[in-house]
Amino acid sequence: MVRITVIIPALNPLPSLIGFIKELISLEIESIIIVNDGSDGKYQAIFLELEKLEKCIVIEHDKNLGKGRALKTGFRYILRKLPKVQSVITVGAHGQHQLRDVEQLIHNAHLFSNGIILGVRNFHSNKVSLKTRLGNHATSLLFALLFHKRLLDTQTGLRCIPRKELHWLMKVPGESYSYDSNMLIDAIKRNIPIYEIPIGHMGLKKNSLIHYDEITNTQKLIEQMITIYTKRRKIHK
């Protein structure tokens, strides 16, 4: 069985995060690292409660540094403090991932241990608007055009990453949500396999904090991809 740690970058999480993490503890994982990325003081009680839970490790940023930086903080902790961990699963803090979605990645961690596993959301669900469906299709095509790899869900925050990839992931640019795209682009450049595992439906909540975990605005995502592509073209000239 692969030894797995879960990393959850969290900014101003809802109290429901406590219940979700209690469910995660029941799974076959070594530990859960929650990175408090500069949340407001009124959310401190949630993190204090999480610290009391079995398997939970809470790391704090004094101020909000962005999702990408929070993930790197978690990766660094694993490399320095958890030598037996073999794979890392990144999970959102705002309820967009379900317990069975995480289980899917755990069950596939051994089979696809040579690459990065993406938990691909179902954009064809009846709960997903036509606008969202078309937007995802457009961004998937654009990513393929710019970076020569077709991926069904480039912004999913549910990912399984082997330990051996953490060293170069620490150097990938991007402090906020641009890190998600940069991670995949660098993996493609390094010829690291990227596997796609279907998970639950595309969950959109009426809460702007969801944007901390995953971009849900098509226009922003397209602008981000073009910006990343332009910067990388300039670097290589």
86, 37, 82, 222: which is closest to 145 by C-alpha? 222
Return d(Cα 42, Cα 40) in angstroms, integer. Answer: 6
Question: In terms of DSSP H, where are the helices of the chain?
Answer: 16-25, 44-51, 67-81, 99-108, 130-147, 166-169, 178-189, 210-213, 218-236
Return d(Cα 96, Cα 57) in angstroms, integer. Answer: 21
Please tell me whether residue 155 adopts helix, strand or coil conformation. Answer: coil
Q: In what order do the strands lie in the sheet with 56-61?
A: 56-61, 31-37, 4-10, 87-90, 159-162, 116-122, 194-201
Return d(Cα 169, Cα 173) in angstroms, integer. Answer: 9
- Reading the block at residue 36, the tokens are 């408090």
pLDDT along the chain (237 residues), means of 10: 95 95 96 98 97 97 96 98 97 90 95 95 63 68 87 90 98 89 94 92 46 63 77 67
What domains are defined for the chain?
4-236 (3.90.550.10)
Residue 87 dihedral angles phi and psi, to the nearest 5°: -145, 155
- Reading the block at residue 67, the tokens are 């999702």
